[in-house]
Amino acid sequence: MPDGYEIVDFDRLPPAACPCGQARRAFAGVPDFPGTIHRTEITAAAKTHYHNRLTEIYYILECDAGAALALNGKTMPVKPGLCILIRPGVRHRAVGRMTVLIVVFPKFDPDDEVVVD
């Protein structure tokens, strides 16, 4: 960090399995950045889950026609360019395939992820 910035190439990050599909997580090892940023490839088999203390911001990069987010039992259609803030405790699941950029505060912690189904 001698220059005051960090650069991440998401294509070079290893994918990690998650309830949604596959996530590539950036900045987890950067001590002075309070969160993480994920590029997540969501599959049609995404599972409902929630976080006890993490806040997530989903920015829809691309999605299939008819894609949606289920938030606490309500289904909301999504499209590229839509941004959704998901607070701790909100049960959520993507419906349909999509690619999302997820900003997580504080840093992502897999122990904070609770799968419902």
Percentage of residues in the chain having pLDDT higher than 90: 95
pLDDT tier for residue 106 given thresholds of 50, 70 and 90: very high
Nearest in space to 74 (alpha carbons), one of 56, 97, 48: 48
Query: Mean per-residue pLDDT for 82-103?
Result: 97
AA letter at 15: P
Tell me, yes or no, whether 4 lies in a domain: no
Q: For position 3, what pLDDT does the model report?
A: 86
**Partners of 39 in the beta sheet?**
24, 101
Average pLDDT of the residues of the chain: 95
Query: Taking 70 as the threshold, does the pLDDT of residue 93 lie above it?
Result: yes
Token readout for 66 is 């008819």
11 domain residue, yes or no? no
Helix (H, G, I), strand (E, B) or coil at 37: strand
DSSP secondary structure letters along 2-43: TTS-----GGGSPPEE-SSEEEEEESTT-TT--SEEEEEEE-
Q: What is the pLDDT of residues 49-61, one digit of tens each?
A: 999 999 999 999 9
Looking at residues 73-84, what average pLDDT do you find? 97
CATH number of the CATH domain containing 84:
2.60.120.10
Whether residue 5 is contained in a domain is answered as no
Q: Is the predicted pLDDT of residue 2 greater than 90, yes or no?
A: no
Phi/psi at 18 (nearest 5 deg)? -145, 170
Domain annotation covers residue 6:
no
- The pTM of the full predicted model, rounded to 2 decimals, is 0.93
What is the number of H-type helices and E-type strands within the chain? 0, 11
**Number of domains composing the chain:** 1
